[in-house]
Every structure is written in C-alpha cells, then in structure tokens.
Structure 1
C-alpha cells in the first residue's frame, strides 16, 4: 500500500474511485438517477483541474498492483474565513478496501500536510447519512453546524465538523 501525492496522470483513477464510491456511499441517500448519471469523463476533467491547482493537496492510495483505490484532497475554501485553518474536502475509498486502515493512512497524510501549513483548525462537510462522519468523530471532530444542501433534486442535511487541535489528531493516528 502506497500513499502519495497525486500527479496529473492520476485524474482518471481518482475519477473512477470518486464515481464508484459515491454510488456505494450515497446509495439510499442521494437519488439513484443522480448516482447513475455520474460520469467518469466529467470527474476526470474535474480531477485534472483539482490536481493542477497549486493550493489543492491531493493524495492517492495505491494497492500493490499500482491501482488507485482511494484518494483525498484538502485546501482552504473561499468561504472559509477562519485564520490558520483549512478544509478536508473529500476522502473516498473503493468499498472493498474500507475498514482496512487505508482511510486512516490517507487521513494522516492530510493532517501532516495541514500541520506543515501551520493550520490549527480543520473543517469538513459531510452528508448526515454518510457513515464517514463516525470516522471523523472517532478522531475528535466536533459538530459545529448543520445546513441544508440540494443534491439530485433532494434536500439533505449537511453537517460541518471541526478539529481544533491537529496535534491531538496526529497523536491518535
């Protein structure tokens, strides 16, 4: 298992994980029609742009065959006005690789990056029905806000969590 910084050639592998993970993670939460219409091609274009952004930190997890099986990214969103803070904007793994500690390794890579940037507070948004929120809570994230977001013609609760001590998170990883 290798966790490394993404390069432009990783965009299609990340897109596959992104689409397939959304289809398993959000089944029963987001409409089947919306999930069915997710496109590898569109997500590849998105991830090509995301990887190229200088302030976006994207990491991938590769299995022993060199296949991308997970990814995460982080940057400071324009809407985040909190000094010395950043945002964990996504973390996804193929369903068959979940529960093996890979997410934890990806998560650690992000938090090391946050520490290098001098951040002391990290935010993440997660849909209420997404079980990943329990992973975040396990590592000390605290719920700070609930809002509504429209996805696929349906209004869903989006939860905003915050970590306010990066050293504590890294120590528990």
Structure 2
C-alpha cells in the first residue's frame, strides 16, 4: 500500500461493468535511481476470475504510455522467484538481470529483478 500512496506514483485501475475494481497497475520514477530516465513497475494485479482476458496487458500498456510521457525509457520490476507473474513480464519482453536475497517472515527468498531496456517494444506488443 505504501507504493499506491506515493505522490509521484501513478495508479491505473480496471473496472468491470458494475464499476467494481478488478485490477490495478502502478509505477513511477525509480526510487533507487542509478539509471538515468528509469522507472519502476511496482505492481500489476488482476483478480483471478478476470485473468487471461487481456486486462493485465491493457494495464501494462497504459502504465507504459505514462512512462513515455515522463521520458522514462527503462523500466524495472521486482518479483519473488515463486510468483508466476514473472512469466507475464517475460512474455512482454522484460529481461532478468539479477537475483537478490530478501528475508520475509524469517525466510530467505530470491527476488528477481527484470528490466525493459526500451518501452517501445512493450507498447508495440500490447
């Protein structure tokens, strides 16, 4: 929730026909910015019963269009190794660049860091 409330973060939501939120995507300027013109895709989430309908793709597109407006041309996303959403990122051209160890609830887990080196390919693919 911390990411959703940041002032310089952008949040986009998807709704069903009843106006209920069924998914969201958020991101913004990279906090640990050592790479010029870079941003973070902080999260994409779509309720399970709505997955596979192209909603995640639409959310990814609108977020990357916002990145384009901000002159962000490199985007990073971090995902736990066991999270199947990493395959979604890979399908849209994100490249694994490193693995970091993180401790969550006393367990050491692998955090995979992915990067899109250009946002044009994502916009053309979505």
Fold shared by both chains (TM-score > 0.5): yes
Q: 2:78 aligns with which of 120, 125, 129?
A: 125
State the shift of 1:77 in Å: 3.3
Q: CA deviation at 1:133?
A: 0.7
- Residue 61 (structure 1) shift: 0.6
Corresponding residue for residue 100 of structure 1: 53
Q: What's 1:163 paired with?
A: 116
Corresponding residue for residue 82 of structure 1: 35
Q: What's the secondary structure of 2:64's corresponding residue?
A: helix
Deviation at 1:105, TM superposition (A): 0.5
Task: Give the one of 2, 16, 22 matched to 1:69.
Answer: 22
Secondary structure at the counterpart of residue 61 of structure 2? helix
Deviation digits for residues 57-108 of structure 1 (CA, Å, limit 9, x no counterpart): 0011100000001111101232122101100001111111111111011010
Larger Rg computed on CA atoms? 1
| Alignment of 1:146 onto 2:92 | no
Once the two structures are TM-superposed, the CA of residue 54 in structure 1 deviates from its matched residue by 2.8
Q: 1:168: how far off?
A: 1.0
Is residue 2:114 matched to residue 1:135? no
Residue of structure 2 in register with 1:113 after alignment = 66
Give the structure with the larger strand fraction: 2
Task: Flag as ranges the 4+ runs of structure 1 deviating above 2 A.
Answer: none
Counterparts of 1:152 and 1:71 in 2: how far apart (Å)?
Answer: 26
In structure 2, what is the Cα distance between the partners aligned to 1:130 and 1:92?
12
Structure 2: gaps of 5 or more residues: none
- Residue 52 of structure 2 aligns to a residue whose secondary structure is coil
Determine which structure has the larger helix proportion and give its number. Answer: 1
